[in-house]
Structure 1
Amino acid sequence: MILHGYWRSGTSYRTRIALNLKGLNYEQHGVDLRRGDQRSETYLRLNPQGLVPALEIDGAVLTQSPAILEWLEETHPAPPLLPSDPVARAQVRAMAALIGCDIHPLNNLRVGKALREGFGADQAAVDAWAARWITPGFTALEALVARHGDGWCFGDAPTLADCYLIPQIYSARRFHVALDAFPRLLAIETAADAHPAFQAAHPDRQPDAD
């Protein structure tokens, strides 16, 4: 498997976590979003949308991290990242979607660039924009973890929800978002900091990191 991604991309980060949790070996090819590598002819042949990540597998290319993570769960079911109970599976997927649909897309690199170039936002304004979406999302997630978590987002082992959460906490810190109101989420971050799969996926440990 070849993972095309960017070291600081939240979607690439969550994909690395899932691959590591599954114990899978993969090569990494860096796509520098700041240089515009994602718009190169070579990369667009892999992913016409020009986004990361893209995962090459047996002559096929998978794009969009939710689809990649679901494929990983279907083809490499152990250890599971979704519970066996259908209701519990839906609850974990909802926690992941809370981040993947309602928080992350609003504070990724493309949006930050649009705010700066199209609306004259300085870094303080970009940080405030990110907090505007991260804070209410984390407030809801904190309540869901209180309801369902037992050391991780759902239960006592990492799930898809944790694959989404840890990169979003990393992003929140980059945008200087206050996190003191989310002790359960911070406790999960502490657990992830001690887990080899999460450690190996950290942006600072990637071959293309600054």
Structure 2
Amino acid sequence: MLKLYGFAVSNYYNMVKFALLEKGMAFEEVMFHPDQSEQSLTISPRGKVPALGTEQGYMSETSAILEYIEEIESAKPLLPSEPFARAQVRALMREIELYIELPARLGYPQAFFGMQIAPQLKEKCKVELLAGVATLKRHGKFAPFVAGDSLTLADVYFLYSFDLACAVAAKLFDLDLLADFPQAGKLLAQLNELEHVQKIAADKDANMPVFMEMIKARALAAAN
């Protein structure tokens, strides 16, 4: 059986978890808060989550895991079969990660953990995040899904990246990223009604206290 390593608060972990649930695949969740120990780095060479345990060994990097899942399980495909459409979904996945998720992540310390970030880093977060949203407006179809009329991996990246970006924009810059992007708001609402998305959200809420205690403990250890 596949084993999914990570923790329920991680958006990348939840991307993989959603794909596994959506496809009806059997898997075991293994709580994994990686560090730089030899044991952790055996599972995930960079000490990141998620990681996937298979009969052949461990696999890391979310996009690689998602494509592996797609290749071994044909039920409920999350990538189109036509090559050009498939490439467009991959491009949207990459654009959402590079130009929305990663810029928003610059603001996480201040938005979610009460830590101040440097003014230049905050400005970089804002500029790159707005440019990323503009990119998605140009490239995304939202008809009604990100890449067209079917749920794809682009929607998985969108679901577990754009909501966090909205929170960062609101808390750090008093900006509503959905104000002039109603298609995105409508799709987020639609996706959040899905049974598997609600299960993942409930698991995240249940695990949030443990995660926050871990963050506090690590911050205290670093300070000492």
**Hey, what does 1:26 align to over in structure 2?**
27
TM-score relative to the length of structure 2: 0.76
* Partner deviation per Cα, 1:148-206 (whole Å, 9 max, x = no partner): 33221122221010010011122113313433122111111011111112222337536
Which of 144, 147, 150 does residue 143 from structure 2 map onto?
150
Q: Which residue of 2 aligns with 1:2?
A: 3
Shift of 1:128: 4.9
Residues 104 and 165 in structure 2, CA contact (< 8 A), matched pair in contact too: no
CA separation in 2, counterparts of 1:99 and 1:186? 15
Percent of residue pairs identical: 28
Distance 2:147 2:107 in 1: 31
Which of 159, 165, 173 is the matching residue for 1:166?
159
Q: C-alpha displacement at 1:86, in angstroms? A: 1.1
Choose from 39, 43, 51 the match for 1:54.
51
CA offset digits 1:94-146 (Å, max 9, x no partner): 111101233323443xx56899xxxx94388766543332222122212323x
From the CA coordinates, give the structure whose radius of gyration is larger.
2
Partner of 2:71: 74
Residue 208 of structure 1 corresponds to: 207
Contact 2:8 2:200 in 1 (8 A): no
Residue 196 (structure 1) aligns with:
195
Match of residue 217 from structure 2: none
C-alpha change, 1:175 and 1:113, in structure 2 (3 Å) is closer
RMSD: 2.8
Query: Partner letter of residue 189 of structure 1?
Result: L
**What corresponds to 2:17 in structure 1?**
16
> Match for 1:30: what amino acid?
M
Which runs of structure 2 are paired with 1:104-123 in the superposition (5 Å)?
104-108=101-105, 121-122=116-117
Question: Residues 60 and 136 (structure 1 numbering): CA distance in 2 closer, same or farther, change over 3 Å?
Answer: same
Amino acid at match of 2:30: H
Contact 2:97-2:161 within 8 A present in 1 as well: no
Say which SS state the counterpart of residue 5 (structure 2) adopts.
strand
Gaps of 5+ in 1: none
**Structure 1 equivalent of residue 183 of structure 2:** 184
Contact 2:142 2:187 in 1 (8 A): no
Q: Could you tell me whether the CA contact under 8 Å between 1:4 and 1:52 is conserved in 2? A: yes
**Which structure's relative contact order is higher, taking Cα pairs within 8 Å and 6+ residues apart?**
1
8 Å CA contact 1:138–1:182 kept in 2: the answer is no
Which residue among 118, 131, 134 is the counterpart of 1:136?
131
Between 170-179 and 154-163, the greater mean CA deviation after superposition? 170-179
